[in-house]
Amino acid sequence: MKFGIRAKLFLFVLLACAAVVVVQAVAVRLVMERGFLSYLNQQSRTRMEEIVPRLEQTYAIRGSWDFLRSDFREWMNLVLPFLRETGGDAAPRLASSDLSGALARVGLLDAQMRVVVGNPDVNADSIRVPIVVEGRTVGWVATVPFEAVLPKNDKRFLEHQFTALTMVGLGSVLVAALLTFILARALLRRLRDMSGATHRLAAGDFASRIAAGAHDELGALARDFNHMAQTLEHAERARRGFMADISHELRTPLAVLRVQLEAVQDGIRSSSIQSTNLMHLEVERLGKLVNDLHDLSLSDVGAMAYRRAPLNVVTVLQAAAESMQRRLDAASLQLVLQIAQVPLTISGDEARLHQLFGNLLENSLRYTDGAGTVRVDCARHGTTALIVIEDSAPGVPDDKLEKLFERFYRVEQSRNRATGGSGLGLAICRNIVEAHEGRITASASPLGGLRIAIELPLI
């Protein structure tokens, strides 16, 4: 038989409370029966030890116990402990230790454990103190244990106390059971909410959330679940957007190629340099997209190859800018270079850094309006080389700046925008910078567009 978490929690707490009640009840009973009664018996033993010296002295004089067998008054004179008042005519009184009836339970046994005088119920199993005369045990002072002569009313009182204690224990267990049930029900309700949300999330409902509730461990777990669900929801949106963008990016050049090839096959258009160049351009677009996907997948798993060596980052940046000069001019964009005239030596991979700067300049080319400006700055900044690439309008909203380096993210969501890329370039740039132990950030540019700042550690 399988138990649910509510049943397990209920039984565990209930058994714990019941065990505590049982232990307390047993402990109280033992204290009452053994502790208190043992105390009374010890008091009786102490009283007998006070009698022993008088009995030893009397036996040494008389030579036997026969005088006590017929004279009970003599026995009482020997064992009855009167405390005499000092001064005045006050009558003698019994010692406080005898108010429990200890003397009535005392008897004398001879050396053969036979009753001589006193309580006839004393025997070898009674509480005994030896009487020794000249190194020989001549008898025993014995007393019947207190519990053996306990009056019926007293026994009935103790039983009532034990019964009341049992009822209190059962009441405590019932209260514990009620509180445990309420606690288990509340915890199980929250766990069921989490279980249901988990099942919905596993089924693809990334909008599933859990009410955090109290600020406890389950509340923290609920908040962590909500954060995970939000992350998955964002990743799912990014994946769907990426698939839509990639399908569009792949479909457009493929459609152009298909039209050109079909026109040639049908004889509508003859193969010419113009049509060949157009198809070559579309093939280059496809190749760049595939290469970007490949580079991103390699950089994500840390498998992108880097051949790092000391190099002057100024030279690499100038080469990347010169390779983009013609395309920037064709788009009516002014390229402004403010590059340090002194070498800035870093440890880097020249090909990857050229790819980094080329992607950033390509990004400015795509998203800067005509007759705009692209400015490239490079200078020493403490122990780092600071490279800044910024452009003119249009800019990027402040709330979207921190998302620019996420994979597949595009500020312009329209897939039909002619200048729109796949959203992979800046993600690849971030991975390249981080592989060089650098830092890349995005902010608004004073020129009205986007400002990308890169810091690379100098050797």
pLDDT of residue 156: 65
Question: Which amino acid type is present at position 168?
Answer: V
pLDDT score, position 123? 85
pLDDT of residue 219: 76
pLDDT by residue (tens digit) across 47-72?
788 888 888 888 888 888 888 887 78
Question: What are the structural domains, with CATH classification, of the chain?
Answer: 1-85+93-205 (no CATH), 217-297 (1.10.287.130), 306-457 (3.30.565.10)
For the chain, helix (H) and strand (E) counts, in that order, are: 10, 13
Which pLDDT score, from 0 to 100, does residue 154 have?
Answer: 56
pLDDT at 455: 93
pTM of the model as a whole? 0.46
**Tokens 């009640």, located at residue:** 21
Q: Look at residue 375 in the predicted model and tell me its pLDDT.
A: 92
What share of the chain has pLDDT > 90, as a percent? 9
For strands 345-348 and 309-312, give the pairing. Answer: antiparallel
Residue 169 has φ and ψ, to the nearest 5°, of: -60, -45
List, run by run, the mean pLDDT of 10-residue segments along the chain (459 residues). 63 74 73 66 78 87 84 80 43 48 77 86 86 89 74 60 74 75 74 80 80 73 83 78 70 76 75 74 74 66 70 91 88 88 89 88 87 90 91 85 71 45 74 88 90 92
Two structure tokens written together for 231: 């992350």
- Look at residue 417 in the predicted model and tell me its pLDDT: 41
**Residue 29 neighbours by CB distance under 10 Å:** 16
Structure tokens, 431: 């991975």
- The total of other beta-carbon atoms located within 10 Å of residue 231's CB is 11
Q: Judge whether 353 and 309 are in contact, CB under 8 Å.
A: no
Q: What whole-number distance in Å separates Cα of residue 380 and Cα of residue 339?
A: 10
Strand order in the sheet with 127-133: 115-118, 106-110, 136-143, 127-133
Q: What is the spatial distance between Cα 266 and Cα 275, in angstroms, rounded to a whole number?
A: 14
